[in-house]
Structures are given as structure tokens and as C-alpha cells.
Chain A
Amino acid sequence: MATQNTRTLARLMMAPSVVVLLIWMAVPLAMTLYYSFQNYNLLTPMNVSFAGFFNYQYFYTDPAFFQSIWNTLVLVLGVLAITVIGGTAIALLIDQPIFGQGIVRILVISPFFVMPPVAALIWKNMIMHPGYGVFADIAKFFGAQPVDWFAQYPLFSVIIIVAWQWLPFATLILLTALQSLDSEQKEAAEMDGANFFNRFIYLTIPHLSRAVTVVILIQTIFLLGIYAEILVTTNGGPGYASTNLTFLIYRTARLGYDVGGGAAGGIIAVVLANIVAIFLMRAVGKNLDK
């Protein structure tokens, strides 16, 4: 019964959200694109001139650029590996008939609700600190030399913190998917003589594949933008050892006051994010058709 009236009304109801999002998407992005072709430094705002592709060239030939791209890759893939494998294992564990399942679930998902600066500072000061952290206490207990995590393994340390934050997300989604696996199907497989291993390979994994895809894609979107965890722990260092692309752009733009360079980096980040986004949109879009 979609009359002309209803349709007009529907359009009116959608208008505010569409207009707001259109402005939010188009205006800043257009400005970034414009700035990326300008020589524009906030310290000398009077000297703005056309730069051609200089900013891109500058950003592209900066040795920190390739390191930051590499760090971004390692960070995203490292966290994904830990959270997907760990999340699957923990979800399978919680899905067993255990005592106090509700409380176990609550304990496991809790890190997800901890704001990034708090998570990073707890790990930096109380867990991984070379002098007073819990890891150092454990090392000393065994007579070993405590590790200075953020100086010796800066990127790895950031990966650990971020993985701790995202492990609950992966676990929760995989657990939800596991619990929707038909128990009759499981029993039928058991009756047919499939052992735990076979049931896992032929029943559980295919069932989980969709949830794993969703976990990977959604986490990637967030992981590409990791910022606060780096800011409060290593500040991108030592050198550029734990600087990801987001942090490099932040450094160029806000600490270097280089609007043009930061904008060129921003456009590169948009292109990278879009590659991931296309895959995510397909996965979500398929679901919409059902």
C-alpha cells in the first residue's frame, strides 16, 4: 500500500540522516583532497601555494611511510591472528557444559568495555613495566632478567594490548555463532561415529566461517585506526618502530603542522580503508538479501 503520500513522507523522514551524512562525508573529504595538493603549513598560514603531487611524493618517499605501512600490516594481522584463533578456542571452551557459564562469559567479554587509554595504561604500568610490572615480578621470581617490553618489542607490546581488547569481541561473536549450531546436528554426527576432531573439521568450522569473516572484516576497520593505545604507550617509538599509518598522519598533521603532507597521507589511508570496506560491504550486503 505504498501510496504516493507514503513515499513522500518516507523521503522526508530519511532526509535529515541522508543530508547530515552526505555533508559529513563529502565536505571534509573534499577539503582533505584539496589540501593534499597545497603547500600549507599551520605555522606559516600566509604562504599557501599549489603543490601538485609534491605532498604525495614527500609522503611516499619518507622512509617512515613504508615502515608505517608495514607496522599497520603487522599490527592488523597480528591482532587478527590472536583474536580469531584465541577467540575460537575460548568460545569452544565456554560452549562446553561448565559451571558458572554466565560469570565466565562476563569475565571474558569485560576487556571490550575498557576505554583504550585505560587499557593501554593498565598494561603499560601495571603489567608490562620493566621495573614494577607483573611480568617483571614473574621474571624476577624465576631469577630471569625482566624484559623492557616497550623499548625492546614496541610493536609486539601494542599488539598484545590491542589483542586483549578485541579478543572478547571475537569470542562473543564466535560463541553466539556456535550456540546457534543445531544440537541435533551435533548429536546426529556423534551417533554416526564422528569424533570430536571430525565434528570440529566438518561441522563446526564450516558453520563458523561466516562469523569469522564478519569478525575479521569488522576488526580490520577498527584496527586500521588504532591510535590511543600507541599514543599513551610508545608514542610511536622508539624511532618509528610502533608508528602505524594513522599515527604517522597524526604526527605529520598535528605535530608537524603540515596540512598538505597530512592530507596526502589521509588520502592514502582512505584508499587502503576502501579496499577493506569493499569486502565488508559485500559480506553484509549478502546478508541483507536474505
Chain B
Amino acid sequence: MARKVTTGARIGWSIAAWVVALLIFFPILYAVITSLKTEQEAIAGFSLIPSGTFENYVTVQTQRDYFKPFMNSVILSVGSTILALIIAIPSAWAMAFAPTKRTKDILMWMLSTKMMPSVAVLLPIFIIFRTFGLLDSRVGLTIMLTLINLPIVIWMLYTYFREIPGEILEAARMDGASLWKEIVYVLTPMAVPGIASTLLLNIILAWNEAFWTIQLTTTNAAPLTAFIASFSSPQGLFWAKLSAASTMAIAPILILGWFSQKQLVRGLTFGAVK
């Protein structure tokens, strides 16, 4: 850029941007700080300096068995993402490389399933789950999370696959590569980055899903969303412990999220903004 910026202007913009950024980040920061306070300190008025106790983290584990919902979150988000990828990869591949007149309609229809309000099908799903004994089960919830994120997974993969040049495939075909070889040696290496991005974004979405996870679980299969929501009851109001549980619940996904900023834009806008 040839544009010249004076140092003064740069410092001014920087201060403004940092103030705004820190204000937006503040609630997260304050939760982390509170998690390192004692319960007395937590309600003793504004303070950014905690006594630095890790007691809350220990208590959350020993009293509320934190590890269980945490593992449920891991199993559900990773499990549903892998299941969705297994269903979506062949589908997106077919639509990207062997499109027909109806491909676009099919894609739009898939997207439209994402627009159905969850609450509208709450009761049927609840009744189906109860009938088949899937309530509060990891299997049931994995299926549910797979279904609600499947359209996004297919769309994201499709926008990535579409960017792989078709000529490369034709060249491989000319050289006599079979379809199987074409997929394994030509397509897969080029598709891996797109698949990885999709995987990452979908784990984030599944981890934070807070309607079905709360509606369909009680204790056994309850992931962190349901676990934290249970803290809203009056007897659960221990802020330092709540903060410790919250910090552990958001830390892994926050870090994943920082690494997937670009893919996030792409994935959530269905390729409309890049």
C-alpha cells in the first residue's frame, strides 16, 4: 500500500481499536479472573486481581464430576462431525464433479432443511426418542447433531470441492487412472484442506449447540451446554466455581476458533462471502 499514515494517526487508531477489543473481550477475561478467586472474593466487588487459587477447578471436578460432561461434549461433537463427513463427502463430491441440472435445486433444498426451527419439531423428536429409548443417550444426541449440521457440512465441502479444477481429473482419466485411483491419488490430497476446515467448524458448532443438547439430555449424555445451564438454578450459584466450569468449557473451542477464523466466514455464509 502506497498510502502514507502518520505515526500519530496510527497510534490514535490503535488505542481506539484496543479499547474496543478489550471491552468486547472483557466478560470472558473477567470469568477467567473470577475462576481464580475464592467464593468470598467473587462477590466482594470489582477486582481484577484474584488470589490465584485453583481450588474451584478441583471442586468442580470432585463435587460435580466435571469430567463426565466434558467427555460427553468431546464424544458428541467429534462423533457427530465424523458421521456427518462420512455422509457428506461422497454427496458433495458427486455434486461438485458430476453436476446435473438438478444439483442446484438439491443443494438449495438441503440448505432449506437448516432453516426449519428446531422448536417446531421438538415434540415429535422427543416422542420418537422416548419410543426408541434414545432420550439422554449419546447415540441419540450424536444422530441429532449430525442431522442439524449435515446441510452446512455438505455446503462447505461443496464450495471447497468446486474449486478443485476439473481438468486435473480429466488429465488423470486420460492417463488411464481408474475412478478409485482418481479419488485416492488426485482428489484426496487436494480435498484435505477443505475437509479439515469443515471438520473444525463443525466441531465448534456441535460443541456449542444449546437447544437439543439441553432438551434431550438429563444426566447421562449431558454435554457441557446442559451441565452449565444447570448452574442457573438458585442452589447452583457459586460464581467462582461457575467461572471455573465456564472457563474449561469454552477454552478448547476458543482456541480452535482462533485458528479457524477464515473458514468460519466461508462456512457460515455458505461461500457467499470469502
**B243, chain A: closest CB distance, angstroms:** 7
Q: For chain A, what secondary structure do more than half of its interface residues adopt (helix, strand, loop), or is it mixed?
A: helix
A1 with B110: CB separation less than 8 A: no
Assess whether A6 is interfacial by the CB under 8 Å rule: yes
A132 with B45: CB separation less than 8 A: yes
Q: Which of A58-66, A73-81, A224-232 contacts B (4 or more CB under 8 A)?
A: A224-232
How many pairs of A and B residues are in contact by the CB < 8 Å rule?
313
A93 with B17: CB separation less than 8 A: yes
Answer whether A118 and B90 are a contact pair too, CB < 8 Å, given A98-B10, A104-B21, A107-B22: no
Contact digits for B101-135, partner A, Cβ 8 Å, 1 yes 0 no: 00010111111111111111111111110000000
B257 with A109: CB separation less than 8 A: yes
Query: Given A107, A108, A114, A232, which contacts B229 in the complex, CB threshold below 8 Å?
Result: A232
A254 with B122: CB separation less than 8 A: yes
Complex formed: what's the CA distance from A127 to B190 in Å?
A: 47
Contact digits for B1-32, partner A, Cβ 8 Å, 1 yes 0 no: 11101000011011011101110110110110
**A171, chain B: closest CB distance, angstroms:** 9
B104 with A285: CB separation less than 8 A: yes
A29 with B91: CB separation less than 8 A: no
Assess whether A162 is interfacial by the CB under 8 Å rule: no
Assess whether B94 is interfacial by the CB under 8 Å rule: yes
Answer whether A115 and B116 are a contact pair too, CB < 8 Å, given A35-B124, A164-B24, A254-B122: no
Considering the complex, give the chain B residue whose CB is closest to the CB of A11: B94
B115 with A277: CB separation less than 8 A: yes
A246 with B17: CB separation less than 8 A: no
**Residues on B with beta carbons closer than 8 Å to the beta carbon of A20:** 87, 147, 150
Q: Hey, which bits of chain B sit against chain A, CB under 8 A?
A: 1-3, 5, 10-11, 13-14, 16-18, 20-22, 24-25, 27-28, 30-31, 34, 42-43, 45-46, 87-88, 90-91, 93-95, 97-98, 100, 104, 106-128, 147, 150-151, 154, 170, 173, 179, 204, 207-208, 210-211, 214-215, 224-226, 228-229, 231-232, 237, 239, 242-243, 246, 249-250, 253-254, 256-258, 261-262, 264-265, 268-274
Q: Hey, which bits of chain A sit against chain B, CB under 8 A?
A: 1-2, 6-7, 9-11, 13-14, 16-18, 20-21, 24-25, 27-29, 31-32, 35, 90, 93-94, 96-101, 103-127, 131-132, 134, 137-138, 164, 167-169, 172-173, 176-177, 180, 183, 186-187, 190, 210-211, 214, 218, 221, 224-225, 227-228, 231-233, 245-246, 249-250, 253-254, 259, 262-263, 266-267, 269-270, 272-274, 276-277, 280-281, 283-285, 287-288
